[in-house]
A and B are shown apart, each in its own frame.
Chain A
Amino acid sequence: MTAALEIQGLRKSFGKLEVLRGIDLEVAEHEVVCLIGASGSGKSTLLRCINLLEPIDAGRVTVLGEEITARGVNVNRVRRRIGIVFQSFNLFPHMSVLRNVTLGPRKALGLSRAQAEEQATALLDRFGLAEKRDEYPDRLSGGQQQRVAIVRALAMEPALLLLDEVTSALDPELVAEVLDVIRELAAGGMTMVIATHEMGFARDVANRVCFLDAGQILEQGTPAEIFTAPREERTQQFLQRIVDAGRL
């Protein structure tokens, strides 16, 4: 199997704070990898580095065989193949749902308006958002907004989808509708890297779970290995805190 994503020795600092301290990670096509770890362990920064929203200090990121961190690589072209969904949705508030979804395909991929709208309508329909296409984001619930954000990323037909704590800003009763969408994508073979605090979800959907601690991948393995028999003491402590909080 080809690697969809390959990260070698990735380092990133913000000022004096070293957030990522040498990350090595390989993700195969159609694989779903969940990143778990405490807040500040570097999960979000790692995802933002993968689609070059943050410049990296050292290391290499390779997507589908192309080193995207090499000099002279067109970052816009790279980002078209890597979708990202943010914790805070980041929909464009001055555009209708339909325009939110079609902006990327029209302006970055050069689709005609008709083509882009047809594709967007099909996607919105698939995720139960068809009647929301002319609404503005402020009018939608958090769960609906996040589903629109996922559709917006999917409209670019990405080879790799990054999800950055996409349910953390949602009311508990809205989490399920978003997780269901992600489960469906996983079943459809989408390659995903998911930073999450939803341990039950990670156990369900992930092929592999990575535990990040202080900017390093301390331990990785199948969900069963990580959640039932973690080897590292730090992992055990982290999971114990999750269990104590009633979240697993």
Chain B
Amino acid sequence: MIILAFALFIAVLRSLPGPVFFPVRLLAIAYADFFRGIPTILLIYILGFGVPGLQLAGVPNGEFFWGTVALVLVYTAYVSEVYRAGIESVHPSQNAAGRSLGLTHGQSLRYVIVPQAVRRVIPPLLNDFIGLQKDTALVALLGLVETFRQSQIDVAGDFNFTPYLATALMFLLITIPMTRFTDWLISRDRRRRQAGGVTA
């Protein structure tokens, strides 16, 4: 949720027009370039081991906290690019139509552009969501015991690979229903627009 909101914010910043917003656009671009450019695992190491090591006052030390922060930073960068692709895929004439009604740039984005953009990027968003879900296994490197690490422990005990299969199954149990659910959302939206007249 944080990722979805934050990434949309970054993508919108990047779409702001005119020279006034150049520094803002630059920051948004730098953010995406930076956090997409470094390996997730490296960022998890840097934040998860590095920040607690600094022993700063008033900063949380938990591995879970910093593992989560690292994943949020990285996936926000990926998702913001997905949003940007969506925003740019909406034909400029839609913005022209919105602005010609006297809507401000922000209103046109909010009511005309972004709702269409988000609908178009649902499948790639789901892609990233699944990726994120799988990358949670990486926080195990910080010493956190999540499902994958737990299964490694179990396998190491008796050389029985069933725990790995069970873990794989657990991931699938989350991702497959999620995929079907978004498919359903997309087809419902299409039905509503093309079969028309059903809902107000």
Give the interface of A toward B (CB within 8 A): 48, 51, 53, 76-77, 79-80, 82-84, 86, 88, 90-94, 96, 98, 103-104, 107-109, 134-136, 138-139, 152-153, 156
Give the contact-size bracket for chain B.
20 to 34
- What are the 8 A-B residue pairs with the smallest beta carbon separation, nearest first? A104-B101, A139-B196, A80-B102, A108-B102, A90-B97, A136-B193, A135-B196, A79-B102
Query: Complex Cα distance A134/B193, Å?
Result: 10
Main DSSP-derived SS at the B contact region? helix
B192 lies within 8 A of A136 (CB): yes
In the complex, per-residue mask of B91-102: 1 if CB is within 8 Å of any chain A CB, else 0: 001101111111
Write out the residue numbers on chain A whose beta carbons fall within 8 Å of the beta carbon of B94: 90, 92
Query: Complex Cα distance A98/B196, Å?
Result: 13
Nearest neighbor of A104 in chain B, beta-carbon distance: B101
A139 lies within 8 A of B194 (CB): yes
Query: Complex Cα distance A81/B196, Å?
Result: 32
Write out the residue numbers on chain A whose beta carbons fall within 8 Å of the beta carbon of B141: none
Q: Give the contact stretch, choosing among B34-42, B53-61, B110-118, B125-133.
A: B110-118
A76 lies within 8 A of B104 (CB): yes
Nearest neighbor of B97 in chain A, beta-carbon distance: A90
Nearest neighbor of B193 in chain A, beta-carbon distance: A136
Query: Complex Cα distance A152/B115, Å?
Result: 19
Write out the residue numbers on chain A whose beta carbons fall within 8 Å of the beta carbon of B115: 94
B176 CB–A CB distance under 8 Å: no
Query: Complex Cα distance A48/B195, Å?
Result: 34
Write out the residue numbers on chain A whose beta carbons fall within 8 Å of the beta carbon of B101: 79-80, 103-104, 108, 152-153, 156
A76 lies within 8 A of B93 (CB): no
Write out the residue numbers on chain A whose beta carbons fall within 8 Å of the beta carbon of B107: 107-108
Nearest neighbor of A103 in chain B, beta-carbon distance: B111
B100 lies within 8 A of A84 (CB): yes
Nearest neighbor of B118 in chain A, beta-carbon distance: A94
Query: Complex Cα distance A234/B168, Å?
Result: 75
Known: A86-B93, A108-B107, A138-B194. A51 touches B200 (CB 8 A): no
Nearest neighbor of A89 in chain B, beta-carbon distance: B97
A94 lies within 8 A of B103 (CB): no
Residue in B93, B96, B111, B196 whose beta carbon sits within 8 Å of that of A136 in the complex:
B196
13 residue pairs from A and B, CB less than 8 Å apart: A84-B100, A91-B97, A92-B97, A92-B98, A92-B112, A94-B115, A94-B116, A104-B101, A104-B102, A107-B103, A134-B196, A134-B199, A156-B101
B93 lies within 8 A of A88 (CB): yes
**Which has the most chain B C-beta neighbours within 10 Å: A83, A84, A94, A98?**
A94
Residue in B97, B102, B112, B195 whose beta carbon sits within 8 Å of that of A76 in the complex:
B102
Q: Give min CB distance, A8 to chain B, whole Å.
A: 23
B197 CB–A CB distance under 8 Å: yes
Query: Complex Cα distance A157/B102, Å?
Result: 12
With A92-B112, A103-B103, A108-B102 given, name 12 new contacts (CB 8 A).
Answer: A53-B100, A77-B102, A80-B101, A80-B102, A86-B96, A90-B96, A103-B101, A136-B196, A138-B194, A152-B101, A153-B101, A156-B102
Write out the residue numbers on chain B whose beta carbons fall within 8 Å of the beta carbon of A91: 97
In chain B, positions 54-109 with a C-beta closer than 8 Å to chain A are 93-94, 96-104, 107
Nearest neighbor of B190 in chain A, beta-carbon distance: A138
B196 lies within 8 A of A138 (CB): yes
Residue in A79, A139, A152, A156 whose beta carbon sits within 8 Å of that of B195 in the complex:
A139
Write out the residue numbers on chain B whose beta carbons fall within 8 Å of the beta carbon of A107: 103, 107, 111
Nearest neighbor of B189 in chain A, beta-carbon distance: A94
Write out the residue numbers on chain A whose beta carbons fall within 8 Å of the beta carbon of B93: 86, 88, 90
Q: Give min CB distance, A244 to chain B, whole Å.
A: 32
Q: Give min CB distance, A24 to chain B, whole Å.
A: 24
Query: Complex Cα distance A53/B193, Å?
Result: 29
Query: Complex Cα distance A82/B96, Å?
Result: 13
B102 lies within 8 A of A109 (CB): yes
Q: Give min CB distance, A234 to chain B, whole Å.
A: 30
Q: Give min CB distance, A150 to chain B, whole Å.
A: 13
Query: Complex Cα distance A206/B195, Å?
Result: 39
